[in-house]
Amino acid sequence: MSTSMIQIRKRQLTVETIHHEGGPVAAVPLRMAAALAVVRNPFAGRYEADLLPFMAELRALGTELAEELVGVLGKDRVEAYGKAAIVGVNGELEHGAVWHEAGGWAMRAALGEPKAIVPAGKAVANAGYRLMVPLHYIHAAYVRSHFNSMEVGVQDGPRPDEIVFALVMADGGRVHARLGGLRKDQVQVGDGQR
């Protein structure tokens, strides 16, 4: 993919399959997947007042990463999601914040417009930085069994003038979730949709 502002150096796809967390083996293991792209930061080293064109162009990348995750996990199986950005040290946190709309919009579009916001993490950091991406249930943010996280990072990124953008999806809640709270089969309008 190449447009005037989006220049991708590399992509990464990670899939975790979790059979247990020290308790009994799950009848159906939890699968979590992260799709990442290392992108040149067009604003590295300078202040830019208008970030909206960059955010708009990132929608296509968001769509590619979201569709890759749906292809791995299956659209009808995805139950949790999250997004993240790691900005290289010549950038600013706001350069990662452009991913809120571009990445979140793309995931909801790929999944048939679930109502819950997409939780996010972001940081300005050196290459190799690892970030825990928060996840929750796609239809309601307050489903406690689906509060989870997945670590993302790229060994050689972000370089100072780059940004790592990440989307994460999972096909269930935590393997040994047993702390009560709202269950996914109890979700009603207003239970943390937006």
Measuring CA to CA, which residue among 33, 108, 83, 79 is closest to residue 172?
Answer: 79
- pTM of structure: 0.94
Q: Are 165 and 36 in contact (CB under 8 A)?
A: yes
Residue 176 burial by Cβ neighbours in a 10 Å radius (0-12, 13-18, 19+): middle
pLDDT in tens, the chain (194 residues): 444 799 999 999 999 999 999 999 999 999 999 999 999 999 999 999 999 999 999 999 999 999 999 999 999 999 999 999 999 999 999 999 999 999 999 999 999 999 899 999 999 999 999 999 999 999 999 999 999 999 999 999 999 999 999 999 999 999 999 999 989 898 888 767 75
Compute the distance between CA of residue 130 and CA of residue 182 in angstroms, rounded to an integer.
Answer: 30
The pLDDT value recorded for residue 194 is 54
Q: Are 26 and 19 in contact (CB under 8 A)?
A: yes
Compute the distance between CA of residue 80 and CA of residue 189 in angstroms, rounded to an integer.
Answer: 18
Q: What is the CA radius of gyration of the chain?
A: 17
